[in-house]
Amino acid sequence: MRPFAFLLAALAFTDSALAAALPLLDPQEQEQIQDGLSDPEQKEPPPAKEERPAPIREKLLDRPHDFLSRRVEAYSRKLDNFFSDPNRAYDSTGSTLQIRSHITFFVGGVRESKADVHANISLPNTEDRLRLIVQRGVEAATQTAAERDIKNATGSTQVAAPGAPQDNNYYLGLKALAAEVFGVALSAEAGAKFARPIDPYIRLRAFRDFNFSQWQIRASETPLWKHSEGYSAASEVNFTRPLDELWQLRFTSKATWRSTTSYFDLAQIGALYYTPDPRTATTFELGAFAPSDRSLKLAVYSVTLRVRRQIYRDWLYLEVTPQILYQEANGFSATRSLMLNLETLFGDRYL
């Protein structure tokens, strides 16, 4: 037992001597070493470099410009989504099924009702680049809200655009988002009438959004070929400016050329938007329409008040639209109407 006791004593003496030779560590560092989070031999990290202050031109020019540009564009997109503008809905992302039912009352008690269905469905596993399009009238997807309301009130697309075809058929198309070049979004669509005889069509579209001062500008070009009617091309530019948090101003100019008439159907629309709360918006709109073959003399002009209310969640809307229409065919006498519209939206964003 003595040799074994002597060996234990020697080991204990050696361990105490080594512990005395090593530098003492504080308890926190000992815990970090045990957890593998630090190393007593590791050197201190080099001090971080001080960030240089932003240049004066960035503070005075770039930052205010970028903030205002984002604000203008976000406000414009929010308003377009709320009012369900037809051509903005055509250019939007995500899947949407829209059902609009309206009834129109005229002076004297005459009324008519109608329902429209529009679908813009993103196909699975295509990263939103391939879409199925269902629409009533092949030109309906790119018309303005003013043209849509005049058509619904009068039952004819030729009131606002004399060269437009009378087309109430449904069409089924496949739309591909081709590319974006220098900020210009490009798309191509091909389809046919959802009835006999088959009437195929091909549509291209290019548009670009950009900002100038406090104006948000969108310019678009939409060439269209349809087997029964030949070629047409719609050029549109609109200027949007928020006046404050509640008011917004927009001017829209549109010119549509058709091979069947060889002239332009011209439209000029001015609109003032008012949004008192997130569920309600009002538009006061003046529109002027004329074909280019008559020295720009007005054929039709309209005065419209559109009040839109979100009545349930974010997918059910009620719209009340009183309108006064002045047509040359009626000696520019006033035609008054009141349209009630109920709109239901379906899609992932409305769940």
CA dihedral 154, 160, 163, 164 (to 10 degrees): -60
Which sign, positive or negative, has the C-alpha torsion 135, 136, 140, 144? negative
The CATH superfamily of 63-350 is monomeric porin ompg (2.40.160.40)
The number of angstroms, rounded, from the C-alpha of 121 to the middle of its chain's C-alpha atoms is 15
Which pLDDT tens digits describe the chain residue by residue (351 residues)? 444 444 444 444 444 444 444 454 455 544 444 444 444 444 555 565 555 665 665 555 556 545 555 554 555 555 555 655 666 667 776 788 999 999 999 877 778 788 888 998 888 888 878 999 999 888 887 888 888 888 888 888 888 888 888 888 999 999 998 778 888 999 999 999 988 889 999 999 999 998 988 899 999 999 999 999 999 999 999 999 999 989 999 999 999 999 988 889 999 999 999 999 989 999 999 999 998 886 667 789 999 999 999 999 889 999 999 999 999 888 899 999 999 999 999 987 777
Residue 193 Cα distances to 91, 143, 201, 228, angstroms:
21, 18, 8, 11
The number of angstroms, rounded, from the C-alpha of 37 to the middle of its chain's C-alpha atoms is 50
Which sign, positive or negative, has the C-alpha torsion 160, 281, 319, 175? positive
- Local structure of 206: helix, strand or coil: strand
Q: E-strand spans in the chain?
A: 96-106, 111-122, 130-136, 170-181, 184-193, 200-212, 215-226, 230-242, 247-258, 264-277, 280-291, 300-312, 316-327, 334-346
Amino acid at 339: M
Cβ count near 147 (within 10 Å): 27
**Residue 209: per-residue pLDDT:** 92
Residue ranges per structural domain of the chain: 63-350
Phi, psi of 178 (to 5 degrees): -75, -60
Kindly report the CA angle at 331 between 292 and 321, in degrees rounded to 5? 85
